[in-house]
Chain A
Amino acid sequence: QKEVEQNSGPLSVPEGAIASLNCTYSDRGSQSFFWYRQYSGKSPELIMFIYSNGDKEDGRFTAQLNKASQYVSLLIRDSQPSDSATYLCAVNSQPGYKLSFGAGTTVTVRA
């Protein structure tokens, strides 16, 4: 079983819609959860992090964490063409910052 699994893409959404990205993880002891955005040919950019159960909102992005279900999600509201990218879920399963990454979900926002 992979440590971090993301819903397979690609995900295509119309402009203005909500894009919903899902991620599950295997290590129940995981404490920190991150979403990175990666544009084609660029390096990953941290867009959200969440440590506690519940929702965390930052602008058009909302991260949701449910540790009991070992599930973390990212919602992108009012999706824009500039949101078209690959979104990587990362989980810190061990002390010392070491991250495990999911395979990523590619999102395309249609104008």
Chain B
Amino acid sequence: SAVISQKPSRDICQRGTSLTIQCQVDSQVTMMFWYRQQPGQSLTLIATANQGSEATYESGFVIDKFPISRPNLTFSTLTVSNMSPEDSSIYLCSGEGGGETQYFGPGTRLTVL
């Protein structure tokens, strides 16, 4: 299984600012994903991070708000732009581990004031 790290682990940000979250996988993976988990809720897929092309966003998520980079097969970033308190959440990245399994990073806990 892939080992995934994320930075930062948590942050407190002011309304209107942006935060970039980094996700590093210890091996090359074709598929990486970004999820959001709001308090007491399950996971919602934000987008699939594609290496060499634009990310594929799910309904309700747009590139201007959540730009994603995927420069290589081990790294991706998610930016949460022009933040509001409604963006307070845990953001999780995942990588595929073979057999359509996914393994998750430890998450980034974001609080927007």
Chain A contacts to B: CB under 8 angstroms: 31-32, 34, 36, 42-46, 49, 51, 88, 90, 92, 96-104
A97, A100, A102, A103: the one contacting B100 at CB < 8 Å is A97
Known: A97-B33, A98-B48. A88 touches B102 (CB 8 A): no
Q: Are A46 and B101 in contact (CB under 8 A)?
A: yes
Neighbouring A residues of B104 by C-beta, 8 Å: 36, 43-45
Q: Are A98 and B42 in contact (CB under 8 A)?
A: no
Report the bound CA distance from A15 to B98 in whole Å: 34
Of all chain B residues, the one with the shortest Cβ separation from A86 is B42
B29 to chain A, nearest CB (A): 10
A15 to chain B, nearest CB (A): 26
Q: Are A97 and B42 in contact (CB under 8 A)?
A: no
Report the bound CA distance from A97 to B101 in whole Å: 7
Q: Are B42 and A88 in contact (CB under 8 A)?
A: yes
Flag whether B96 is at the interface (Cβ < 8 A): yes
Write out, one digit per residue, whether chain B residues 66-108 have a CB within 8 A of any chain A CB (1) or not (0). 0000000000000000000000000010001101111111110
Flag whether B31 is at the interface (Cβ < 8 A): yes
Q: Are B43 and A97 in contact (CB under 8 A)?
A: no
Of all chain B residues, the one with the shortest Cβ separation from A88 is B42
Q: Are B48 and A96 in contact (CB under 8 A)?
A: yes
Q: Are B99 and A43 in contact (CB under 8 A)?
A: no
Q: Are B92 and A46 in contact (CB under 8 A)?
A: no
B51 to chain A, nearest CB (A): 13
Report the bound CA distance from A62 to B4 in whole Å: 27
Neighbouring A residues of B92 by C-beta, 8 Å: 43-44
Neighbouring A residues of B1 by C-beta, 8 Å: 46
Flag whether B53 is at the interface (Cβ < 8 A): no
A65 to chain B, nearest CB (A): 14
